[in-house]
Structure 1
Amino acid sequence: MELNHKSNKPLHLQAEEVLRTLIDSEEYKSGKYLPNEIELSQKLNISRNTLRQAINKLVFEGLLIRKKGVGTKVVQKGIISGVKNWLSFSQEMKMLGIEIRNFELHISWKKPNEEICNFFNIDKKNPIKCIVLERVRGKKEYPFVYFISYFNPKIPFTGEEDFTRPLYELLEKEYQITVKTSKEQISASLAGEEIAEKLDIKTTDPILIRKRFVYDTNNTPIEYNIGYYRADSFTYTIEAER
């Protein structure tokens, strides 16, 4: 909780680093209120305005939330994803320290729709069936995402693969396919009956829909993935530099 007042780094940035450490600590990460601004500014030996600069940045990032007349609260950690150095779902969860449970896992062969045919460059008039992997995944307490993945029919899947393994690890070790690029689309919707049943939520609850278009190192399309996330468990961040 000590800042270096002789450092060239601005005090509000040092305060921000201290707050980030607090947010990630066991004591606060489940959603505890921070000490009030007067107490916190005194501990850090900075003005309340300097402290507010740091707090405002973390509120903007969705890590803190202010409640008027109550205080500043740490947002309970959900799934946080972003566009910089994209990760597989398994890697994202491992990074966050979340142990994942598969609630459902289904494998089938289906004819792709027009959008998927265009992505994989499949003849729309006589489409080849793709192997489709459907998974409902989440914490041990509840599911929070329903994935549907279509794979390029040129991948020699048999349907007997162990899809409980991390997907991209399986592709690399069994088929020498290394994924590199993910192009994504994010949208919002109400759950509806099918998704609500999968995620154990109400039909009128909000969800986030995340489409991923995954390519290998040769820019060959590998996976067309749609993820339906509980909105209370998913935060998407974007970092941009000018």
Structure 2
Amino acid sequence: MNLQIDHKSPIPLHVQAEMLLREMIKDPAYINGKLLPNEVELAKRLAISRTTLRLAINKLVFEELLVRKKGIGTKVVTAKFSSKSKNWLSFSQEMKNRGMEVKNFELHVSWVVPEAPIANFFGIKDGQKVLKIERLRGKPDDPFVYFISYFHPRVGLTGEEDFKRPLYEILEQDYHVVADLSQEEIDAKAANKFIADKLEITPGDPILSRKRFVFDRSGRPIEYNLGFYRAESFTYSVESRRDY
């Protein structure tokens, strides 16, 4: 396969690399378990830095198209079935569509060194701090969701913004960062004491836990979001269209 990056193209290098990788892993040899070339070799062939290449690989690892094994290498993940919703909305949009007024009961803003899964998602170096925003939200008399959001330092948020405004509105209007793609994981679990206290329920009560991974139009990660919903107060609906 001819692997070439167009260094004169307006398309970012990591996006071009991602497109090439998507084509490469369609090769039957890779589908059947052949390891991809190592990062040093592949970066050299593409005439890009390992950091740029790693952004592309991280995206495919996150999408579960590739898997890395320390000391072994990177290879294609065995295909699995999944169900995906077609559209996504911010919490403010969700509530607006339901005709509900949104109230922020708590807001906590800090700069933190993220845990490994978050740092890996963002592709940042160890020890680099990210902006963390925690919010208890709900209807005027009913707090029913606790959000914890982490933002890539690249987006430009300082923590001094007016967070009464919708977050994605702030990103788009103030920093020209457009949230384009959301990928989600949803679980039913028991509330721990911290979340139970926030949602005014008993530890062990059922909650809906949602992870949301948000990307910009270039496919770069911008937000890692955790949402914990009181079960009886929120229904998560999924609309899917059948492929023919």
CA RMSD of aligned residues (A): 1.2
Deviation of the 1:83 alpha carbon: 2.3
Q: Which residue of 2 aligns with 1:99?
A: 101
Deviation by residue 1:160-218 (Cα, 9 ceiling, x = unmatched): 11111001000001100011100000011111210011001111210010000000111
Q: Distance in 2 between matches of 1:84 and 1:232?
A: 25
Deviation by residue 1:95-140 (Cα, 9 ceiling, x = unmatched): 10000111100100110111001110012xx321001000000111
Q: Distance in 1 between matches of 2:145 and 2:238?
A: 20
1:202 and 2:196 correspond: no
Given residue 94 of structure 2, which amino acid in structure 1 is its aligned partner?
E
Q: Distance in 2 between matches of 1:168 and 1:97?
A: 20
Q: Distance in 2 between matches of 1:211 and 1:178?
A: 19
Matched ranges for 1:77-116 at <5 A: 83-116=85-118
Q: Which residue of 1 aligns with 2:119?
A: 117
Q: Which residue of 1 aligns with 2:217?
A: 217
Task: Give structure 2 stretches of 5+ with no counterpart.
Answer: 1-83
Deviation by residue 1:29-76 (Cα, 9 ceiling, x = unmatched): xxxxxxxxxxxxxxxxxxxxxxxxxxxxxxxxxxxxxxxxxxxxxxxx
- TM-score, with length taken from structure 1: 0.64
Instruction: Look up the SS of the partner of 1:186 in the other structure.
Output: strand
Instruction: Look up the SS of the partner of 2:154 in the other structure.
Output: coil
Q: Count matched residues.
A: 159
Q: Which residue of 1 aligns with 2:129?
A: 129
Deviation of the 1:236 alpha carbon: 2.0
Task: Give structure 1 stretches of 5+ with no counterpart.
Answer: 1-81
- TM-score, with length taken from structure 2: 0.63
Write out the 4+ residue segments of structure 1 that deviate beyond 4 Å after TM superposition: none
Q: Distance in 1 between matches of 2:214 and 2:136?
A: 20
Structure number with bigger Rg: 1
CA contact (8 A) 2:149 2:224 kept: yes
